[in-house]
């Protein structure tokens, strides 16, 4: 069975506010279950559709995802849930765990 057509996921580009991202928290997630660029797009899309997420970058080769988010609006559990849900709605199985959280890159104010 050719799953290429059913697996296709176009990447959503939300753009980003560079100043907001520079003040955001950054989390590094380890994501398992991604097999192709469509999976990476699906995980990215699920994350950027999460309220408070400003940006994400998926590294398929290392199975790492970098996410900039507003800590007051988004919990870490929201991010891992977004990854799991992204797989669930497309009959894929993804899991995510937090590897590292970095506070704001530049102090606010």
- The answer to the question of residue 75 being in a domain is yes
Query: Is residue 4 in some structural domain?
Result: no
Q: pTM here? A: 0.82
With respect to residue 71, please indicate whether it lies within any of the assigned structural domains: yes
Summarised one tens digit per residue, pLDDT across range 33-73 is 999 999 999 999 999 999 999 999 999 999 999 999 998 89
Query: Which has more pLDDT, 106 or 77?
Result: 77
Residue 1: pLDDT over 70 = no
Using a pLDDT cut of 90, give the percent of the chain over it: 63
Per-residue confidence (pLDDT) for residue 33, from 0 to 100: 94
SS (H, E, C) the chain: CCCHHHHCCCCCCCCCCHHHHHCCEEEEEEEECCCCHHHHHHHHHHHHCCCCEEEEEEECCCCEEEEEECCCCCCHHHHHHHHHHHHHCCCCCCEEEEEEEECCCCCCC
Residue 62 belongs to domain spanning? 18-102
Number of domains in the chain: 1
CATH number of residue 62's parent domain: 3.30.70.100
User: What pLDDT score was predicted for residue 44?
Assistant: 95
């Amino acid at each position: 069975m050719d799953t290429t057509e059913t697996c296709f996921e176009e990447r959503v580009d939300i753009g980003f506010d560079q100043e907001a991202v520079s003040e955001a928290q950054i989390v590094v997630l380890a994501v398992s279950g991604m097999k192709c660029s469509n999976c990476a797009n699906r995980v990215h899309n699920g994350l950027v559709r999460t309220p408070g997420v400003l940006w994400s970058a998926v590294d398929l080769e290392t199975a790492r995802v970098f996410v900039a988010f507003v800590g007051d609006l988004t919990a870490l559990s929201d991010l891992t849930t977004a990854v799991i849900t992204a797989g669930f709605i497309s009959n894929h199985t993804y899991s995510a765990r937090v590897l590292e959280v970095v506070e704001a890159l530049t102090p606010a104010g």
